[in-house]
Structure 1
């Protein structure tokens, strides 16, 4: 989906939803797939459907018996399934929530949901482990016209169109670069790139367009990561290396995007976020906070004589009070993403954060690994290798 489409669908989301509901009052059947102890149920991908009168949860699957019992109670279901394939075959839901945070089951769960006839799938981020897995899922979904939405929930925040309008109105002057840092806790480096950097990369593609090339370095305790440093990461991400990452992406719209993460370098009050840096100011985005974004006017490279103040940016624009009283809760609880998925199903359009968007993030992460494997060489998109490049480390 291009930016114009994003603006139109986001600004009019409430109107579109009401129109869709009027056209089809039938409740959509939702099934939830989780796996207690192996990614669980993400950040609420199971319970969001309880708050939506337009859907009905008909089943939950969890391979862990104790976890399944808890999930049934939480979701108010008499019956649960140990095998998600059995649930999908028997219940044939129209929407499937692929909820585990661990990536290693995403491909199989999503393909099973597509095969069982689901029309919409809402999947925890990151999308999957490798570009080849993303290719498989997208090919299967396209064949059956299934809509897939990725739970990069801040991508659905209604402040993003306001920021886009500001950029078009020259609020930052020339946009010079986008800078991002991970959370930089104990997971700093490659794990941070996967688990939290995925959110940042997703928003970077919204503002910067598709990635064109990447150069990157992975460091382990200050030295370039070697084959001996390659290991299986937590949360099912597959092979990774390095407790520090320094990466540059050149983007479709001309500006460079930088991602950096160093283990234990972060502070609770700072770090994790994204900055749009222009000749006339900075827009700073802090994910899962409200306001999501703030503007610091003025040339960032020429300190002024007077102190500058950050200006909050709401869905109505900079310095305007947020008109949506519960906007943070609607985003964080996945209500806006879930309703956008339903609207996408009914309008036959891509969700605001689609499978293609999810694949772009996965491919950017793999490009970091591939550039490092090639000693910092510039690699271009689409990547020639569709598997994890660290498996080929010499």
Structure 2
């Protein structure tokens, strides 16, 4: 069996896991890892018996494929060099900083005829894969993606760091186009936005509320969908899918509590789930690692020339929608007037200390 010669460019928090997984795949030869920290490159290379580099350019002519896991600001430069040389690229999300950069990568991949895959990892979450196999027409969606502050990905904000995952999932699930976008969010620590809420209105009538925060105490990543077919809920952390659909009796006759006698109404709360609404819990294999699935898929595309599940165009579409959210975010007037504070970096001044009730403040005064 011919092994695919691969390298990982950027072996920080996430990239080192790319290196670990690729080094363990039987049809992959990890020929090198790259990091601008010579010590980090040396440590990860020693761990996987490969060669460390501080510059990616020596590897351009020496690999069959590459995984680009650098900060977003370097995605275009690194990926473009490999694509020009006809080397397939997996680039982490977001695909690039700008749509122009994304368009150039897509054009290069098309010109050289090699796969360009974008690392929207939740597409490979088994709960989402299960949902896509089911007949569902979303009409209202809530997506939440919250996590603790890590100090990583400081070159981008919560929209491109976190929310873009769910924007990609919504586009994959609902399609487009998106008719309207409104958003509100704040920069808590300064710089980029740290928490965001967006409302998306799709041409097909679906409405989605999407929130992202990177200053939450606990991680929460879930998707909830209401549709004519029923309800679907995904917990991306536990990889659990919950489905609720109307039972046959409810579909045929409906439910008219006002016509029930007192005894029937008393039983209703115990019969709603089971008799009228059917519930199915799909607890996917928790040992399943979506990063491994994503990398295996990419390697298969390299070997077969198949089109990746998450293409460069998909990455561009998610980036375009993210830019629309950011645009709406920057235009939000906190006091309802453009003369007042506008945008995530101009949060209104506080009226006092939250932990001190108003009555205590008055007494202290």
TM band (smaller chain): 0.7 to 0.9
For residues 217-257 of structure 1, what are the alpha-carbon distances to aligned partners after superposition, in whole Å with 9 as ceiling and x for unaligned?
Answer: 333389xxxxxx983xxxxxxxx4x4442322233654122
Aligned equivalent of 2:338 = none
Q: Provide closer, same or farther for how the CA distance between residues 116 and 351 of structure 1 changes in structure 2, counting only shifts above 3 A.
A: same
Match status 1:32 vs 2:8: yes
Q: In 2, are the aligned partners of 1:182 and 1:192 still within 8 Å (CA)?
A: no
Q: Provide closer, same or farther for how the CA distance between residues 185 and 69 of structure 1 changes in structure 2, counting only shifts above 3 A.
A: closer
Aligned equivalent of 1:85 = 57
**1:177 Cα offset (Å):** 1.3
Aligned equivalent of 2:99 = 131
Q: TM-score, normalised by structure 2?
A: 0.73
For residues 161-205 of structure 1, what are the alpha-carbon distances to aligned partners after superposition, in whole Å with 9 as ceiling and x for unaligned?
Answer: 53234325xxxxx63212112206458xx8332222222122111
Aligned equivalent of 2:160 = 194
Aligned equivalent of 1:348 = 305
Structural mapping, 1:1-394, within 5 Å: 25-34=1-10, 36=12, 40-42=13-15, 44-77=17-50, 79-89=51-61, 91=62, 93-100=63-70, 102-118=71-87, 120-168=88-136, 175-183=138-146, 185-186=148-149, 191-220=157-186, 231=191, 240=192, 242-251=193-202, 253-261=204-212, 266=216, 268=218, 271-279=220-228, 281-291=230-240, 293-297=241-245, 305-306=269-270, 308=273, 311-313=280-282, 327-332=285-290, 334-374=291-331
Higher RCO, 1 vs 2 (CA within 8 Å, ≥6 residues apart) = 1
**1:308 Cα offset (Å):** 3.9
Alignment partners' CA distance in 2, 1:52 and 1:149: 18
For residues 263-319 of structure 1, what are the alpha-carbon distances to aligned partners after superposition, in whole Å with 9 as ceiling and x for unaligned?
Answer: 75x5637x422111124532111224233x2124459xx9962364863226xxxxx
Which SS does the other structure have where 1:58 is aligned? strand
Alignment partners' CA distance in 1, 2:33 and 2:313: 27
Q: TM-score, normalised by structure 1?
A: 0.68
Q: Provide closer, same or farther for how the CA distance between residues 88 and 329 of structure 1 changes in structure 2, counting only shifts above 3 A.
A: farther
Q: In 2, are the aligned partners of 1:35 and 1:63 still within 8 Å (CA)?
A: no
Q: In 1, are the aligned partners of 2:186 and 2:196 still within 8 Å (CA)?
A: no
Q: In 1, are the aligned partners of 2:201 and 2:208 still within 8 Å (CA)?
A: yes
Q: In 2, are the aligned partners of 1:45 and 1:124 still within 8 Å (CA)?
A: no
Alignment partners' CA distance in 1, 2:67 and 2:81: 12
**1:97 Cα offset (Å):** 1.0
Would you say how many aligned residue pairs link Structure 1 and Structure 2? 308
Alignment partners' CA distance in 1, 2:68 and 2:296: 16
Q: Provide closer, same or farther for how the CA distance between residues 182 and 192 of structure 1 changes in structure 2, counting only shifts above 3 A.
A: farther
Q: In 2, are the aligned partners of 1:60 and 1:87 still within 8 Å (CA)?
A: no
For residues 19-61 of structure 1, what are the alpha-carbon distances to aligned partners after superposition, in whole Å with 9 as ceiling and x for unaligned?
Answer: xxxxxx311111111154xxx4437111111221111111222
Q: Provide closer, same or farther for how the CA distance between residues 335 and 245 of structure 1 changes in structure 2, counting only shifts above 3 A.
A: closer
Q: In 2, are the aligned partners of 1:288 and 1:328 still within 8 Å (CA)?
A: no
Gaps of 5+ in 2: 151-155, 258-267, 334-342, 345-365
Alignment partners' CA distance in 1, 2:35 and 2:231: 45
Q: In 2, are the aligned partners of 1:247 and 1:260 still within 8 Å (CA)?
A: yes
**1:344 Cα offset (Å):** 2.5
Q: Provide closer, same or farther for how the CA distance between residues 56 and 35 of structure 1 changes in structure 2, counting only shifts above 3 A.
A: closer
